[in-house]
Chains A and B, each alone.
Chain A
Amino acid sequence: MFDQFIQFLITGITVGSIYALVGLGFALIYNASDVVNFAQGEFVMIGAMSAIFLHMSGVPYFLAIIIAVLISMLVGMALEKLAIEQARNATVVTTIIITIGASIFLRGAALLIWGKDIYGFPPISGDDPIKIGNVTVLPQSLWIIAGTCVFVIGLRYFFQNTLIGKAILACSYNKKAAYLMGIEVKKMLLIAYGISALLGGIAGVLIAPITYMTYGAGVMLGLKGFCASILGGMGNSMGAVIGGLILGIVESLGAGFISSGYKDAISFFIILLVLFFKPTGLFGKSGMERV
């Protein structure tokens, strides 16, 4: 029973790390532009599918991963440039529909390029599970957890210690004031979307070896990222990371001990409870630092 619990916990932390990366991307775009980006899951799918196909066509493993993540990033920046920037004064509902349109468009493009088939991707360091007592861990799980830690810490460093990071932060507080201070707001938005899509792409290449990828795999991952960022408090990036981990763990324990069919329902049920009793999310106190 205890071993089982630990086993589910590890699975939960693994999946939760992915939700955290996606949620972080959500929070970043929300902060920078007040847009809830429903195409975030498609960044994940594009990262994963590009890596798979580059690798299949003979590109070395790590090079394929790097190019795939860059492709995701370019798609994110294109989305900002071609759609979000064009619709500056749109209302919340309109921007939601625009990003939903973008996600349908990207899914359509993926369907056209890669077809409907399901693909696998080799893990970074082999398939042999590591045994600790009665608990087994896939090496890829460790890569996912470590990767998430690195990027969360890296992003924190970026926002607190680099000029561009600080400039994006300034834009998220007050765009007009930032503009008056000589910050190129448009460029910062573009960078924010790029980083957000980059995070999505990384989540994609990390998760591809432990799940199967199709052109439609982004939808649920995107929604879970949305859940994670709401759970942590919309626009709070550390909140999104913790929210993602909580969702992953609860989902995995729920699937293991209650019912695997209701796995996805459990996370949405938790979100409803949180929204009903603490609508600002777990860490969404007013006056708290954003990004």
Chain B
Amino acid sequence: MRLLGLYVFLVISIGLGLLFPENYYVSVVGTTAFFNIILAVSLNLFMGYAGQISLGHAAFFGIGAYTSAVLTTSYGLHPLIALCIGAIITGILSFLLSKPILKLKGHYLAMATLGLGIIIHIILVQEEWLTGGPDGLSGIPVLQILGYDFDSDIEWYFLLAIIASATIWISLNLGESRMGRALRAIHGSEIASQTLGIDTSSAKAQVFILSAVITSIAGSLFVHQQAFISPDSCSFAFSVELVTMVVLGGLGSTFGAVFGALILTILPEILVHFEELEVLIYGAILMVIMIFLPKGVFVSFSELLEHLIKGRSHARRTTA
């Protein structure tokens, strides 16, 4: 039952890929959607489960992306080895940062993660000898797994569908685990969970590192899919977009994050047709949703649905 949503997700995504392999919205937009789903679900581990905030997650995406790009182009490393090195670097960095950063709360944590994201973005722009500066790096080789080259849109679509499902699986299981319950207790009240004997700082650190490492892996995959990376892909705006996905769908819900990622992938595709008005409408939609559905679109609607079903069965019982 717990994994039902995951099966539905797998069937729909694989089904769409098999039925419409040539369709632009399936193969290209779908691939982007999977990237966003991986990122939003992993950020939700930190924000939704543990109740913390990060306005700098794009930095981890950038570290993964640039490590892979540099190691495969300049040093000729195998993409998968580069991906692992990127994940390890991100793991170490987020471990080192977790102690001072996670002591902070609310607006202070928002400021610290924001600062961190901006510093890393500036380093990526400034260190031209390594990162290619504002122009970025191009000519990144295709991803190879067991001798198989991933070089078409639809191949990426299926690969990312599987990785996105794996991320959702991790998220759903973590939510039900001892760790997940500890995190939710921290979300409720950090002091109360400390008195219950939960090591709150280590629980927060673990989920922060996990979230950062998944984000870094997504970054590594992204450069191989795009064959190009520039600092724009890891800017403050992207961090904000990731937070928006999580909050828009509904904090703390894995499928809320999936839903938020889908909205923010599809919305720009639709808004492109409004040309000049695009930015304005985007901001307006964001505000309106958050004002009227502060719990997020997905969570609000599923609560409403639950309420209706319960209400009806209750009514039936009273009439019988």
Contacts and interface: CB of A to CB of B under 8 A. Distances in A.
B276 interface: yes
A227 B290 CA distance: 25
A112 B280 CA distance: 8
Given A89-B294, A112-B277, A226-B111, A268 B118 contact: yes
Contacts of A98: 286-287, 290-291
A108 B280 contact: yes
B281 A94 contact: no
Interface string B79-111: 000000000000000000000110110111011
Interface in B238-267: 240, 243-244, 247-248, 251
B284 A101 contact: yes
A261 B134 CA distance: 12
A223 B287 contact: no
Contact of B103 (A36, A105, A108, A279): A279
A112 B276 contact: yes
Contacts of B248: 97
B87 to A, nearest CB: 24
B115 A268 contact: yes
B279 interface: yes
Given A97-B244, A112-B280, A264 B291 contact: no
Nearest to A264: B122
A212 interface: no
A70 interface: no
Interface residues of A, number: 44
Interface stretch (A141-149, A160-168, A192-200, A269-277): A269-277
Given A93-B247, A223-B118, A227-B111, A102 B281 contact: no
B185 interface: no
Contacts of B194: none
Nearest to B55: A96
A234 B286 CA distance: 26
Given A264-B122, A272-B116, A93 B279 contact: no
A59 interface: no
Given A265-B118, A268-B115, A234 B279 contact: no
A100 B101 CA distance: 23
A290 interface: no
Could you say which of A89, A105, A107, A264 has the most chain B C-beta atoms within 10 Å of its C-beta?
A: A105
Contact of A261 (B118, B125, B236, B243): B125
Nearest to A104: B283
A103 interface: yes
Contacts of B123: 265
Contacts of B104: 275, 279
B287 A102 contact: yes
A219 B251 CA distance: 26
B213 interface: no
A97 B264 CA distance: 14
B283 A93 contact: no
A265 B283 contact: no
B114 interface: yes
A96 B53 CA distance: 10
A121 to B, nearest CB: 23
B126 interface: yes
Interface string A220-239: 00010011001000100000
B182 interface: no
Contacts of A89: 294
Nearest to B278: A108
B315 to A, nearest CB: 29
Interface in B267-299: 276-287, 290-292, 294
Contacts of B18: none
A109 B281 CA distance: 9
Contacts of A109: 280
A269 to B, nearest CB: 6
Interface string A250-291: 000000000101101100110110011001000000000000
B116 A106 contact: no
A272 B112 contact: yes
B294 A90 contact: yes
B12 interface: no
Contacts of A93: 47, 53, 243, 247, 251
Interface of A: 30, 36, 83, 86-87, 89-94, 96-98, 100-109, 111-112, 219, 223, 226-227, 230, 234, 259, 261-262, 264-265, 268-269, 271-272, 275-276, 279
21 contacts: A91-B294, A92-B106, A94-B247, A96-B243, A97-B290, A100-B240, A103-B283, A105-B279, A108-B283, A223-B114, A227-B111, A230-B107, A262-B122, A265-B118, A268-B115, A268-B118, A272-B115, A275-B100, A275-B104, A275-B111, A275-B115
Given A101-B285, A112-B280, A219-B236, 9 more contacts: A89-B294, A93-B243, A97-B243, A97-B247, A97-B248, A108-B282, A111-B276, A112-B277, A265-B119
Closest 8 A/B residue pairs (Cβ): A105-B283, A108-B280, A108-B279, A104-B283, A101-B286, A101-B287, A268-B115, A276-B100
